[in-house]
């Protein structure tokens, strides 16, 4: 018996994704999803686009426990499966499930207001002007670094460790490592600090030193909060995101392979 009877599909606006949408809907009688309420009724959602579109789709359906199967119609396609017009329903039935948990960012602005957002890839703290930002870093309530001076710092999940984290020199983390990557961004002081690996159950706090003179912004994936004074980051265990991957091309395998790319 088929696991997925109601198959919905969402597509990026780019030409390649829209072309794939027409082809696959006609061939497999998929339901094109036009709003969140319609998508909630599906057993599985096929996302056509690139990694950025996939990230938006995962955020849209994070609260509904609906597995997402991405098909690459973009460039890199790290979170996606290969585009093929054949055997789509069989591929869905045979696909393996990867479950990940998001990060929760609580950012306090200099006027005392708190802003919450979720991140699948990373939470970043970035300088807002030409001056380097100064950040105090605490882990589970204990100050571990009194002052980091540089462009900023980020906390990446294992699933997001090969994205922005990797581009600023952070490590790729296997999904089953249960670790976060705490990675500086263009650190000036301490010059030789390369970051840290932290257990996924830890709570990380960033305090901005001299926030008026050296302002900073906080970003959870694509949600930005300006002029922050402090940021707290921790994993949200009660939210689960399910991604589907073809056999032999799981996210775990891709992350491992990424460490050998040169």
pLDDT one-digit tens code per residue, 202-221: 999 999 999 999 999 999 99
Q: Is 1 a domain residue?
A: no
How confident is the model over 111-124, as pLDDT tens digits? 999 999 999 999 99
Same domain, 50 and 122: no
Same domain, 29 and 17: yes
DSSP 147: E
Q: Where are the alpha helices (DSSP H) in 156-246?
A: 164-167
CATH for 70: 3.40.50.10330
The number of distinct structural domains making up the chain is: 2
Q: What is the pLDDT of residue 138?
A: 98
Same domain, 108 and 84: no
Q: What is the pLDDT of residue 1?
A: 56
Residue 11, burial from CB neighbour count under 10 angstroms (0-12, 13-18, 19+): buried
Give the Cα separation of 240 and 25 in Å (integer): 28
pLDDT-flagged residues of the chain (< 70): 1-2, 262
Show the tokens assigned to 62.
């994070």
| 3-class state of residue 204 by DSSP | strand
Same domain, 58 and 154: no
Same domain, 214 and 107: yes
Same domain, 128 and 47: no
19 phi/psi in degrees, rounded to 5: -65, -45
Give the Cα separation of 128 and 125 in Å (integer): 9
Q: Is 2 a domain residue?
A: no
Q: What is the pLDDT of residue 255?
A: 87
Known catalytic residue at 51: yes
Show the tokens assigned to 189.
């002081």
Give the Cα separation of 30 and 10 in Å (integer): 10
Which pTM was predicted?
Answer: 0.92
Structural domain containing residue 37:
7-100+240-258
Q: Is 69 a domain residue?
A: yes
Cβ atoms 125, 218 nearer than 8 A: yes
Given 43, 51, 140, 246, which residue is catalytic? 51
Same domain, 112 and 231: yes
């Amino acid at each position: 018996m088929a696991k997925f009877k109601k198959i919905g599909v969402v597509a990026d606006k780019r030409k390649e994704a829209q072309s794939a949408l027409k082809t696959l809907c006609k061939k497999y009688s998929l339901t094109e999803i036009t709003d969140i309420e319609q998508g909630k009724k599906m057993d599985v959602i096929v996302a056509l686009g690139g990694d950025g579109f996939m990230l938006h789709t995962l955020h849209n359906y994070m609260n509904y426990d609906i597995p997402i199967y991405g098909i690459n119609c973009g460039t890199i396609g790290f979170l996606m499966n290969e585009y093929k017009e054949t055997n789509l329903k069989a591929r869905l039935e045979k696909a393996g499930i990867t479950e990940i948990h998001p990060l929760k960012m609580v950012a306090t602005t200099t006027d005392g207001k708190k802003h919450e957002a979720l991140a699948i890839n990373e939470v970043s703290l970035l300088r807002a002007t030409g001056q380097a930002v100064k950040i105090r870093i605490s882990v589970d309530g204990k100050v571990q670094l009194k002052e980091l001076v540089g462009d900023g710092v980020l906390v990446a999940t294992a699933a997001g460790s090969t994205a922005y984290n990797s581009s600023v020199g952070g490590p790729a983390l296997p999904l089953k490592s249960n670790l976060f990557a705490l990675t500086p961004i263009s650190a000036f002081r301490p010059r030789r600090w390369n970051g840290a690996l932290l257990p996924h159950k830890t709570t990380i706090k960033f305090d901005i030193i001299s926030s008026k003179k050296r302002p900073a912004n906080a970003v959870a994936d694509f949600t930005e909060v300006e002029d922050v004074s402090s940021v707290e980051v921790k994993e949200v265990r009660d939210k689960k995101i399910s991604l589907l991957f073809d056999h032999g091309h799981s996210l775990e395998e891709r992350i491992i392979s990424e460490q050998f790319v040169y």
